């Protein structure tokens, strides 16, 4: 009975160790160094550049470069350097982020 329990624990530890999610194959292996992992199968991938932002919204988009820094996977609500998008009656700011590779492929057509 004791050996059965030890065997089951070893098998579970084996599966936990090798059941980790990976980045999609389009990413090179050196890109994995900048990825933060959690005990679950989630991966947090930081964008590499801001491709586009709302025109004439420089006063409404504050600190967008902060989004390009390596994060820890959690919301940082206390940081003074967070990115802020401020809407007003004339401008509704937006950003388009580039993650370095196309993450979605439509293979239907």
Domain spans, the chain: 1-45, 46-101
CB neighbours of residue 45 within 10 Å: 19
With 0-12 CB in 10 A as exposed, 13-18 as middle and 19+ as buried, what is 78? exposed
Please list the helix, strand and coil fractions of the chain in percent, rounded to the nearest 5, in that order: 25, 15, 60
CA distance 14 to 44: 24
More confident residue, 81 or 59: 59
Per residue in 12-36, pLDDT tens?
666 665 555 567 777 777 777 777 7
pLDDT, mean of residues 71-100:
86
CA-nearest of 99, 49, 45, 95 to 70 is 45
């Amino acid at each position: 009975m004791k050996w059965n329990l030890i065997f089951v624990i070893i098998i579970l530890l084996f599966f936990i160790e090798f059941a980790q999610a990976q980045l999609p194959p389009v990413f090179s292996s050196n890109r994995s160094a900048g990825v933060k992992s959690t005990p679950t199968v989630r991966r947090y991938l930081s964008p590499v550049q801001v491709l586009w932002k709302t025109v004439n919204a420089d006063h409404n988009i504050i600190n967008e470069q902060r989004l390009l820094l390596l994060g820890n996977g959690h919301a940082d609500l206390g940081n003074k350097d967070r990115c802020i998008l401020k809407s007003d009656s004339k401008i509704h700011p937006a950003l388009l982020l580039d993650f370095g590779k196309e993450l979605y492929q439509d293979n239907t057509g």
